[in-house]
Amino acid sequence: MIVGLTGGIGSGKSTVARAFGSLGIGWVDADDVAREVVMPGEPALAAISEHFGNDVLHADGTLNRSALRSIVFDNPTERKWLESVTHPRVRERILVHLERLQRQSPYVLLVSPLLFESGQDKLVDRTVVVDVPVELQLSRTRARDDVSEAQVHAILAAQLPREERLTKANDVIDNSGDHASMMQQVTQLDQHYRNKYL
């Protein structure tokens, strides 16, 4: 079984994935895969630098993510172009990683901030949304990523609204409390998945 784990920026998806990992569950992080496909030497990076120019590259030839982010979040057309180049490659690489993990884990997680928006939910059997109030998303993201409030709002605007994401969820983890509360919810879901679906 593949479980899709998603949530808005700053909701704590990675923390929740690590909690499942502590229970022996493997996961693939779509953000990590997205970074893989734009490494130097990858076809996607060549296409991106050809399209946007060398301003989106660091001196060492790696992708300057903040420069690219500032272009695409202000321009929906450019964001769509970027997604057309990266999303198919990310999806293909995700499938390779999931297949490898399925041989080692009772079930696996696909951790993706854009699970529904990118169509990656079609790769999974169940979906879990990690949920926190929008105000908490804002404060956590600003503290973690050192970005402006305007940039956080632009990122939020590119993601499904909280209410819509919740309606698409099979299961929800409320991550607005402390670590123990989150861990209890993860443990209960893990038992549910093992008992009902395996």
Q: What is the pLDDT tens value at each position of the chain, 198 positions in all?
A: 999 999 988 888 999 999 999 999 999 999 899 999 999 999 999 999 999 999 999 999 999 998 998 899 879 999 999 989 998 999 999 999 999 999 899 999 999 988 998 889 999 999 999 999 877 777 777 777 667 777 777 777 777 888 999 999 999 999 999 999 999 999 999 999 999 876
Tell me which long-range contacts 61-67 makes (C-beta under 8 A, separation of at least 24): 63/38
Dump pLDDT digits (tens) for 15-67. Answer: 999 999 999 999 999 989 999 999 999 999 999 999 999 999 999 999 999 89
Rounded Cα gap, residues 16 and 178, in angstroms: 12
Residue 115, domain member (yes or no):
yes
Residue 132 falls inside a structural domain: yes
Does the pTM surpass 0.85? The reply is no
Is there a domain that residue 43 lies in?
Answer: no
Which CATH number do you get for residue 169?
A: 3.40.50.300
Residue 170 included in any domain: yes
Binding-site residues for ATP: 10-15
Does 106 map to a domain?
yes
Q: How far is CA 81 from the centre of its chain?
A: 19
Structural domain includes residue 127: yes
**Domain around 167:** 2-33+92-197
Is the residue at 80 inside a domain? no
Phi-psi region of 61 (alpha: psi -120 to 50; beta: other; left: phi over 0): left
Residue 107 lies inside a defined structural domain of this protein? yes
B/e letters for 48-70, b = 16+ CB within 10 Å, e = fewer, are bbeebeeebbeeeeebbeeebbe
Which residues make up each annotated binding site?
10-15
Domain count, the chain: 1
